[in-house]
Amino acid sequence: MFSIRFSLPTKIVFEIGSISRVGYEVEGLGKKALIVITRGGSMIKFGYLGNVRLSLEARGIKYAVYNNISSNPKADEVEKGVEFAEKEKCDFIIGLGGGSAIDAAKAIAATLASGKPFIKYLRKEKEISAAYPIVAIPTTHGTGSEVDKYAVVTDTERKAKISIISCYIYPKVAILDPETTVTLPPQLTAATAFDALSHALEAYVNRSTNSLARMFAAEAIKNIAENIEHAVKHGVNITIRTKLLWASMLAGLAIDLVRTALCHAMEHPLSAFYGHVHHGLGLSILLPAWIKYTLESAKKDFAEIAEIIGLKTEELTIEQAAQSVYNYIVDLRRTIGLDFKLRDLGVKVKDVDAMVENAFTYMKPLIENNPRIPTREEMKNIYMEAY
Ligand SMILES: [Fe+2]
């Protein structure tokens, strides 16, 4: 039966130079913004924070900056952000940066309006019932968090990276300025594009998928395949960056509709156990093993993906066409300098069983959304294939 439900309460502003018009675009959302950025300092170094500040000042909007967020945001960093926002009397939240800053902004906004402490929402002991207005300004082309209802935060005590899901945490405004992505260094360019690619691939083949999600995912896959290599080699090319940012937003819409699947279910334990592992990098390592495992239950879908990527499939059987996606991903990882294995990231074999257990405890819905659903033993084999 053909059935689609889709509503997006987010105003999307996708335009070169739009970061300098933040003040105008957020008019009416509040009097004082909490600007959430990560500790890394790139938002300051490249002037993006300065652009946002000037733009807010020009409209008479006050702000306070909270920069205590790590690259895999932690629950206590969110709790401290909530305290800080209360002290500063902020009434709306701006997430500026990659998915970490945006997701932390969402978590802070929800806790401010629904009541403390944040950990209760993360542990599903309490439901989010409201959120302060959220503005998302992505400066990477990876998460798509600017257009979805998810926020991923790590519960350090339980060593679990968990998604909170709520319609209240859709950003009110998403400002996508391709110019802010040109400063991404080559490895982060590749890793964040791989996050978006994983979103699109998982959304295309998973059990919940539908025509609209596939339309978004297909367009995302096509744009990433056409541009990822150039972006890594010629990062300043604004046309290429525009296409990648566009693709990551579309992949975000796809997973907002139908979620991800097994590859994400297995990456979350990885970056929960090893906090230094970048989400996109973790995915790029698991992706070939995930495709290899999933292929036999989604041959037709992967054969379609081969065509979307532009691989030569005319003389191939469906099985061969599907297999060509695996070969393509393996080659692509090498070409763009992401040819790593889990062991290169310092992952220990002795942790693999615990990561499997962690996935089955916290990531069950995504595991069960995969075309082929693994046993614990099979999941272990997938991790070991990527080792
Ligand atoms: Fe992701």
- Ligand 1 centre to CA of 260 (Å) is 8
User: Percent of the chain scored above 90 by pLDDT?
Assistant: 98
Report the C-alpha gap between 361 and 355 in whole angstroms.
10
- Ligand 1 centre to CA of 358 (Å) is 17
Count Cα neighbours of 20 within 13 Å in the Cβ-side half-sphere.
Answer: 4
> CB atoms < 10 A from the CB of 164, how many?
22
- Ligand 1 centre to CA of 29 (Å) is 28
- Ligand 1 centre to CA of 97 (Å) is 15
Q: Whole-number mean pLDDT of the chain?
A: 97
Report the C-alpha gap between 214 and 208 in whole angstroms.
11
- Ligand 1 centre to CA of 192 (Å) is 9
- Ligand 1 centre to CA of 343 (Å) is 21
Cα–Cα distances in angstroms (integers) from residue 127 to residues 56, 122, 154, in the given order: 32, 9, 18
- Calculate mean pLDDT across residues 17-41: 97
Query: 282, 271 in Cβ contact below 8 A?
Result: yes
Of 289, 265, 299, which Cα lies nearest the Cα of 342?
Answer: 289
What is the per-residue pLDDT for 3? 84
- Ligand 1 centre to CA of 59 (Å) is 34
- Calculate mean pLDDT across residues 238-246: 98
| pLDDT at 1 exceeding the cut of 90 | no
| pLDDT at 239 exceeding the cut of 90 | yes
Report the C-alpha gap between 245 and 176 in whole angstroms.
8
Q: What is the pLDDT of residues 93-142, one digit of tens each?
A: 999 999 999 999 999 999 999 999 999 999 999 999 999 999 999 999 99
Of 60, 91, 84, which Cα lies nearest the Cα of 172?
Answer: 91
What is the per-residue pLDDT for 132? 98
Length of the chain: 387
Tokens 């950003």 found at = 171
- Ligand 1 centre to CA of 153 (Å) is 12
- Ligand 1 centre to CA of 323 (Å) is 23
What is the per-residue pLDDT for 263? 98
CA quadruple 301, 307, 309, 315: dihedral, nearest 10: 120
- Ligand 1 centre to CA of 194 (Å) is 9
* CATH code linked to domain 11-181: 3.40.50.1970
- Ligand 1 centre to CA of 195 (Å) is 5
- Calculate mean pLDDT across residues 259-275: 97
* E strands, the chain, in order: 11-14, 32-38, 62-69, 92-97, 134-138, 150-155, 160-165, 173-176
* Protein fold of 186-385: Dehydroquinate synthase-like, alpha domain (1.20.1090)
- Ligand 1 centre to CA of 369 (Å) is 15
Non-local CB neighbours of 127 within 8 Å, separated by 6+ positions: 114, 121, 166
- Ligand 1 centre to CA of 30 (Å) is 30
Partners of 160 in the beta sheet?
155
Instruction: Sketch the domain layout of the chain as residue ranges.
Output: 11-181, 186-385
- Asked, colleague to colleague, whether 11-181 and 186-385 share their fold, the answer is no
Q: What is the pLDDT of residues 46-100, one digit of tens each?
A: 999 999 999 999 999 999 999 999 999 999 999 999 999 999 999 999 999 999 9
- Ligand 1 centre to CA of 378 (Å) is 22
Q: What is the pLDDT of residues 138-197, one digit of tens each?
A: 999 999 999 999 999 999 999 999 999 999 999 999 999 999 999 999 999 999 999 999
What is the per-residue pLDDT for 5? 87
- Ligand 1 centre to CA of 36 (Å) is 20
Q: Structure pTM?
A: 0.97
Query: 212, 6 in Cβ contact below 8 A?
Result: yes
- Ligand 1 centre to CA of 375 (Å) is 23
Count Cα neighbours of 215 within 13 Å in the Cβ-side half-sphere.
Answer: 5
- Ligand 1 centre to CA of 286 (Å) is 12
| pLDDT at 9 exceeding the cut of 90 | yes
Q: With bands split at pLDDT 50, 70 and 90, how would you rate the model's confidence at 270? A: very high
